Structure 1
Amino acid sequence: MKRILVVYYTQSGQLKEIIDSVLSPLTEVTIDFLPIDTTEPFLFPWTDEAFFGAFPESYLQIPQPLKPFQLAHTDYDLVILGYQVWYLSPSIPFNSFLQSEAGKQLLQGKPVITISGTRNMWVMAHQKVKKLLTDCGAHLVGNIALTDRHHNHISVITIVQWLFSGDKNKRYLGVFPKAGVADKDIQGASVYGTLIAPHLQTGDYTGLQQAIVAHGGVHYKRFLVSAEKKGNRLFGIWAKMIYGSKKRKFLLKCFRIYLYIAIWVLMPIVWLLYWITYPLFFWKVERDKKKFTIEN
C-alpha cells in the first residue's frame, strides 16, 4: 500500500480544506498528516502589529524554531506540502520547516507536490519554495495553486476583513463577496487527486503538471506576475532596511504607508502601463507563463 505524508501550515483552515479535497479520491493509500508550527505561534486572526511585524522575517526567509514533531514512518512514496504565502514568500513556519535539518532529512529524495491557497500572488513564493526543495534534495513533481478569483482590489478589501476578524464568511458592508478561495474551487480540487492517483501507483509523475494545468489547477494572471516581480524587488529593499534596524517600529509604519500607496495608487498605473506595452513583450510573457505554471 502506498504511503503519503502531508506537511502543512494553515492559520484559518482553508488550506486544510483544499488538501482534504485533493486527497478525497485517493483510496487504498495510507495518509499521515503533519501540521507544523513555530514555537511562538502566529495567532489568527492577526493583530495589526503582528501582521506588519512579520514582514522582514517573512520576505528574507529567516527561519524560526519549530515545535518538535515525530513521525512513525519516514519511507513515504509521496510528500504533499501545503503552504501559505506571506509577503511574496512562503510563510515563516513553512520556510522554517524547509530549512530545518528534520525537514531536509524527511524530504531528501522524495517526490513532492505543493499546494497553495492564496489571495492571488503565489508565483514568487513558489520560485523560492522550488529553490528550498532543491536544497533539500527533493523532487518537485506537481504544483496546485488556487486563488481568490475576484478582482485584485476587491480581494484586497475582503482579505483584510478576513485576516483581522477571522471570519471568512462575513461579507464586508454586506455587499462584497466572501474572501478567499471559492467553495466551488475547493470542492472541485478533488479532480487533482484523481489525476495524482495513477502516478502515485506507478511512481512516474511524467505529465502530471501538464494535466493539473489543463484541469485549471494553477490560477495564473499575467499582469499579477508582472506586478509580483516588481513588488518582489521593492520588498527586498524594504525588508533589508527594516530587519535588524534600531528604527524597526518606525520603518514598519513607513512600510505600511508605502504598501497602501502601492496597492491603491501605483498598482492601477502599473496595470495601465502593462497593457500598453504588452504587445512588445508578448513572447516573454508567454514564456514566463509556461515557466511558472508547467515547468517544475
Structure 2
Amino acid sequence: MTIAYPSPNPPLQSKVCHSPPRHVLAICYSQSGDAARCAKAFLTPLKEAGAVVDEEWIKPIPAYPFPWKSVLRFFDVMPDCILGKAPSIEEPQFDPDLPYDLVILFYQVWFLAPSLPLVGFFNHPKSRVLNGRATITVVVCRNMWMVATAEVNRWLAKLKATHLDNLVVTHQGPIWATFITTPRYLLFGRRDRLWNLFPEPGVGESELGRVREFGNTLAKQLDQLVPGRTQPFFTGLDATRIEDKYILPELIGSRLFRFWASVILAMGRLGGRYLRSVAVGLFVLNLVCGIVLGIPILFVFRILAYPLLRPVLQSYKMEMRAPSEPRPVDAAKHPETIDVIG
C-alpha cells in the first residue's frame, strides 16, 4: 500500500487582493418619476459592480403636487425658483460624516432654475457631506438646462465639492412637441401619446439606455475613485450634448423670468393673493406669446447675427461642457466673455 505524505514544501497560495467596496451616496428628488427612473438606470450598474449605494430621497415641506392640476398653482412657484426661495425639507436620513467616496445628485430643472427641493437640500446643514467629496450631477430636463447648471455649479463651489462630471438627460421629442407634451404631463399626469401623433412625454427608453451606459462607464472605473481625484470619468463621451439653437432663448428667457418674478412678488405685496394671481396669469400669457412668436424670430436673429455672436456663444458653450470636458485655455483666461451673456 502506498501512503501519500504531504509535501514538506507545499506550493505557495496566490493571494488575491480585493479593493474595498466604494461607498456612494445618491441624493435625488423626483416629482413626476423621471428623475427616479434615471437614478435607477444609473445606479444599478454601480450596485452590480459591488458599490454600496445609500439612496436619499429629498422630501420638501410641504410636498409639491403631481400632477399639478392647476395652471396658476404650477406657475406660482416660478418666482421662488428664479429667486432661490427654497422650501424646508424633511431631515435627511444619511450620516454626512460617513466616508463616502462619491456623491451623486439627481435633479430637475424648474423654470430654467434648479428644482426647489434640491436648493432646499443645499440650504440644509447636512449638505456639508459635499465638502471635499467627489461629486457627479445628473440633470433631467425638457431641453434647456444650462442656466440651472450654472446655478448648481455655484452651489457646489460654495459647498467645496469636487465636481467631476455633469450628465444631461433630456425629454424625448422635438421642441415643438415637448411644448405640448411636457405641460400636459405635469398638469394632468397624462403620459400617453396625444392623438397618437406626439411622442410620450418625459424621458424615453433610448435616453434611459444612454443613462445606463454612463452608469456602466462609471462602474468600470470605480477602482480609480481614490481620495483627491479631480479627473472626470466621462471625458469625450458627450455627457452634456449642447444644442446651439437653445442657448440664446434660454439666456434671454432666464432674464425675462427674473423680471416677471420681481413683478409677481411686487403685485403680491401690493394686493395679496388676488393681485399675485393676476400677475401670474399675465406671465403665462407673456410666456405663450414669447414661445409662439418670439422663439422663431430669435432663431432667425441667431442665424443672421451668428458671425458676431459666435465667439461669445462658443465660450459659453465650452464653459457649460465642464467639468466632463476641459475648459479651453482662452475661456479660462478670459471669463468675462462668459459673463456678457451668462
**TM-score using structure 1 length:** 0.93
Contact 1:38-1:66 within 8 A present in 2 as well: yes
Pick aligned residue for 2:149 from 122, 126, 138: 126
Matches within 5 A, 1:66-145: 66-72=89-95, 74-103=98-127, 105-145=128-168
Tell me, in whole angstroms, the C-alpha distance in 2 between the residues paired with 1:294 and 1:195: 18
Q: Which moved more, 1:282-291 or 1:49-58?
A: 282-291
Pick aligned residue for 1:155 from 178, 181, 201: 178
Pick aligned residue for 1:266 from 256, 275, 294: 294
Task: Provide the residue aligned with 2:334 in structure 1.
Answer: none
Deviations 1:37-83 (A, max 9, x none): 21101010112222111110011111211112222563211000000
Q: Which structure has more RCO (C-alpha within 8 Å, separation ≥ 6)?
A: 1
SS of the equivalent of 2:64 reads coil
Task: Provide the residue aligned with 1:30 in structure 2.
Answer: 52
Question: Following TM superposition, by how much is the alpha carbon of 1:176 offset from its aligned partner in structure 2, in angstroms?
Answer: 0.9
Contact 2:72-2:277 within 8 A present in 1 as well: no
Q: Which amino acid aligns with 2:146?
A: V
Pick aligned residue for 2:207 from 182, 185, 193: 185
Task: Provide the residue aligned with 1:172 in structure 2.
Answer: 194
Q: Which amino acid aligns with 1:192?
A: F
Tell me, in whole angstroms, the C-alpha distance in 2 between the residues paired with 1:172 and 1:198: 40
Question: Following TM superposition, by how much is the alpha carbon of 1:285 offset from its aligned partner in structure 2, in angstroms?
Answer: 2.4
Deviations 1:108-164 (A, max 9, x none): 111110001111011100000000111111111110001125321211111111112
Pick aligned residue for 1:12 from 16, 19, 32: 32
Deviations 1:220-271 (A, max 9, x none): 1112111111111111111122225333111111111111111111111111
Q: Which runs of 5+ in 1 are unaligned?
A: none
Q: Which runs of 5+ in 2 are unaligned?
A: 1-20, 270-274, 325-342
Tell me, in whole angstroms, the C-alpha distance in 1 between the residues paired with 2:101 and 2:306: 43
Question: Following TM superposition, by how much is the alpha carbon of 1:289 offset from its aligned partner in structure 2, in angstroms?
Answer: 1.9
Question: Following TM superposition, by how much is the alpha carbon of 1:198 offset from its aligned partner in structure 2, in angstroms?
Answer: 4.8
Question: Following TM superposition, by how much is the alpha carbon of 1:207 offset from its aligned partner in structure 2, in angstroms?
Answer: 3.9
SS of the equivalent of 1:75 reads coil
Tell me, in whole angstroms, the C-alpha distance in 2 between the residues paired with 1:14 and 1:64: 21
Q: Which moved more, 1:147-156 or 1:110-119?
A: 147-156
Q: Which moved more, 1:278-287 or 1:159-168?
A: 278-287
Name the Cα RMSD after superposition.
1.7
State how many pairs are aligned: 291
**TM-score using structure 2 length:** 0.81
Contact 1:78-1:200 within 8 A present in 2 as well: no
Tell me, in whole angstroms, the C-alpha distance in 2 between the residues paired with 1:156 and 1:219: 20
Question: Following TM superposition, by how much is the alpha carbon of 1:205 offset from its aligned partner in structure 2, in angstroms?
Answer: 4.5
Task: Provide the residue aligned with 1:229 in structure 2.
Answer: 251
SS of the equivalent of 2:26 reads strand
Contact 2:24-2:104 within 8 A present in 1 as well: yes
Contact 1:84-1:118 within 8 A present in 2 as well: yes
Pick aligned residue for 2:87 from 55, 59, 64: 64
Matches within 5 A, 1:280-291: 280-291=308-319
Instruction: Name the CA shift for 1:269/1:164 in 2 (closer, same or farther; >3 Å).
Output: same
Matched, 1:208 2:236: no
